[in-house]
Each structure stands twice: as structure tokens, then as C-alpha cells.
Amino acid sequence: MIRLLLIVLLALLIGTGLSLGLQYDLGYIRISLGHYLIETNFWVGLGLIVALIVLTVLTINLIRRLRTSTGLVAGWIARGNERRARRRTTQGLLALAEGNWPRARKLLTSSASHADTPLINYLAAAQASFETGDHEAVDDLLRKAFDSTPGSDMAVGITQAQLQLAGNRLEQALATLVRLRKQSPHHPFVLKLLKNTYLRLEDWRELSRLLPELRKRSVLSEAELNDLERQVWHNLLERAAEDCRRQQKQDPDASLEPLTRLWDELPGFLRRDEYTIRDYARLLASLGDEVQTETLLRKVLRNHWSDELINLYGRVKGQKPDEQLLLAEQWLKDRPNNPELLLALGRLSLRNELWGKAREYFETSLRLKRSREALAELSRLNAHMGEEEASVKLLMQGLAKDNGLPELPMPRA
């Protein structure tokens, strides 16, 4: 109310001043512009000047408002593009999940430039392109994904490695993963992908170097790690044995140093593992070093019993076969009904040319367990002892058992 009164008072004062001023002749205003001359009454000129000022102010305000409205329009257009990009991205991801690869790729790439997360669009589009077999497009989309989002090199690299592995491009995947591991040496998923790559490449040596890091970072469960470690060292032992065989072809007196050196490199739990010991012992025996094989098996069997290892023990020839037989007979006191031990004792008796004792051990083993090995050993022994009929009968029993033949009537000879 007070403000309105002040405005009215000010207007009255200005009006009064103008009415008083108009009573006096204040002259005129004369403006010369080149060949033009403008003359006007002072009060008219003053009004024109005021009108010009007001017009200028209005023009400036109008320009400002136009600029503001242009920004609003641009913002409205941008928000519309973002809404469409989100909708098309959702449709593209649905198409990807449904296996409609061409549609997914089209929707995801067309909306990437206006999407909130262009990285997701490009990575998903790369997946769709991979499914269509367009590897060039995959590489191009992955480059766009990298350029679209700073700090995305790990995400892009992992996706690239996964697609390379899925496409069986193992060498390229290995190069990608080695690069990623240099950037992040302890990244669990990179380590897991690297493990899968080495496994498919059968690069057992590199995989053995990776195993400690896999265990340290808990990339796999304990059981999975133990199985993987057994597989790795089993294959390394096989390759070392193959190297020894090649050397023996060139030099029959060549040492087994590649194999024995690798055995010394094995982790402690594997050197106590029954299956690893069995593999190593078989390889030693196959390479002709039965004495060392017998020594190893004897040490292990004293502390850890294994039917598989005692079976192998009965197959190898130690330095002193008679002592080998006596040691096995001592084990029989604690395990009198073990068919594998009895089979091994029969073989060790044959090694010492104790034919009757060998037959007894084989027959006792067969009474406890009808195994193919015991049948074959007893049949062979009977044949060499002149008991062909008993040998043939045992062979027929073994064949019937191995082939699952039913009990049927047969003609008498």
C-alpha cells in the first residue's frame, strides 16, 4: 500500500513538473546528419529520446528471452532423445535376451549416442555381433565402448577376452588377458579366464605358475584347485616322461633327470597324493627304472596303504626280489584278506620262481574277489605248469565274466 502511494506521488510530481515546464519555451533541438537536418521542439525531442531508450531496453529483454526459450527447446529436445534412447536400449536388451541378434544390434547401436550408459549399449551390441559371426563389427563396437566411457578398459578387455574365448580365438584371448593382468595383477575374474585359456591351450607349465595366485585369491574352491593341480602336474609328468623317452631313443643310457627333477618341484601335498604317486611310479617303471619305483612304493606303502599302489608294487622288480617278497608277506599279517595284496604276492612269488606259492596266492585272491587279473595270472601259470585244461577253464570263466555272458547249458565234450 505504501509502495503504491509512493508511485502515485512520484507520478503526480513528474506530471506537475512537466506541466510547469511546458509553459516555458526551452528552445528547440537541431540535429544535422550529412545533407539531412532535423529540428524539433525540446519537449518532443526529449520524448523521442525517452521512447528510444525504452525501445532499446525492450529489444534487449526480448533477445534475452528468445535465448532462454531456445535453451529450453534444446533441453526439451535432448530429454526427448534420452527417453527414446532408454526405450530403445531396453528393447535392444530384450532382443538380445531373446536371441534376436540383428534387431538387438540395431537398437543398441542406434541409441548408444543418447543413452545414459553408452558402454552397456556398445558391449551388448558387440555380443549380438559376435553371435552373428561378424568379428570385425565386434572389434569396432568394443573400440567405441572404450572411447565412450573413460576408465572402461578393464570392462571392455574382459568382454573382449570372453568373446575371443567363445569364438575359440585362444591366442588372441591370451594376449588380451596377459595385457589385462599387467594392469590388474590380482583381478579374480581375469585370473579365472586366464586359467581357462591355459587349460584349453594345454599350456601346463604356465598354468602351474598361475596356480599359487589362484589359490591365494580364492578364485576356485579348494576341491576344484586340488583337482586342477593334480591335472596340471599329471600332464607335466607325462611330458617329462616323453622327453626322457626321446632322449633314450638317442642314448639308451640317458638319465631320467627331467622326470625326477619335476618330481622334486611338486607341491608337498601332491607328493603325498596317492594318484600322483601312482602316475609317477608308473612312468618310472615304463622308462625302465623299476628299482627306484620299488623303493618309492615301499616307502609310501609303509605309511599309507593303497590297493592301487600295492598292485603296482607287485608288477615291478626291485633290486632284491626275495626281500621284496618278504616285505609284502609282512604286510599280509595286517591285511590277510586283501585280494590286491594276495595278487601282488603271487606275482612276487613268480618273480622268485616259487610256482606253488604263487598258485596258492592267486587262488586265494580269486576266492576273495573274482578279478580279471587274478584269473589271467592263474590261467597263465597253469598253462606253463602243463595244466592246459585248468588254464582253458579259467580263461573261459574270465571271458564269460568280462562279456557279461549268462549262465546257459552247454554240450559235454
Rg of the chain over all Cα atoms, to the nearest angstrom: 47
pLDDT at 63: 78
- Rounded to an integer, the average pLDDT of 118-145 is 89
Helix axes 339-351, 355-368, angle to 10 degrees: 170
pLDDT at 76: 53
- Rounded to an integer, the average pLDDT of 278-284 is 93
CATH topology of domain 46-149: 1.25.40
- Rounded to an integer, the average pLDDT of 156-160 is 93
Cell representation of residue 69: 526459450
Q: Quick one: DSSP state of residue 287?
A: T
Q: Check pLDDT > 80 for residue 219.
A: yes
- Rounded to an integer, the average pLDDT of 202-222 is 93
Residue 115: helix, strand or coil by DSSP? coil
Question: How distant, in Å, are the alpha carbons of 89, 132, 244, 273 from that of 137?
Answer: 19, 10, 48, 49
Higher pLDDT pick, 120 / 21: 120
Chain position carrying cell 549380438: 128
Cell representation of residue 326: 618278504
Q: Check pLDDT > 90 for residue 295.
A: yes
- Rounded to an integer, the average pLDDT of 251-277 is 87
**Domain positions in the chain:** 46-149
Q: In the structure, what pLDDT confidence band is assigned to residue 29 with cuts at 50, 70 and 90?
A: low
- Rounded to an integer, the average pLDDT of 204-211 is 94
User: Rounded to an integer, what distance in angstroms lies between the CA atom of residue 319 and that of residue 194?
Assistant: 46
| Count of C-beta atoms within a 10 Å radius of residue 55 | 10
pLDDT at 213: 93
Q: Which of 331, 325, 335 is nearest to 358 (CA)?
A: 325
Task: Give the number of residues written for the chain.
Answer: 413
Q: Which of 238, 88, 369 is nearest to 361 (CA)?
A: 369
| Segment 338-354, tens digit of pLDDT | 999 999 999 999 999 99
pLDDT at 170: 94
- Rounded to an integer, the average pLDDT of 267-293 is 90
β-strand 28-33 against 36-41: which pairing, if any?
antiparallel
Complete DSSP assignment for 83-95: HHHHHHHHHHHHH
- Rounded to an integer, the average pLDDT of 147-167 is 91
- What mean pLDDT is reported for the chain? 84
User: Rounded to an integer, what distance in angstroms lies between the CA atom of residue 178 and that of residue 184?
Assistant: 10
- Rounded to an integer, the average pLDDT of 100-107 is 89
pLDDT at 117: 83
pLDDT at 136: 87
User: Rounded to an integer, what distance in angstroms lies between the CA atom of residue 171 and that of residue 247?
Assistant: 30
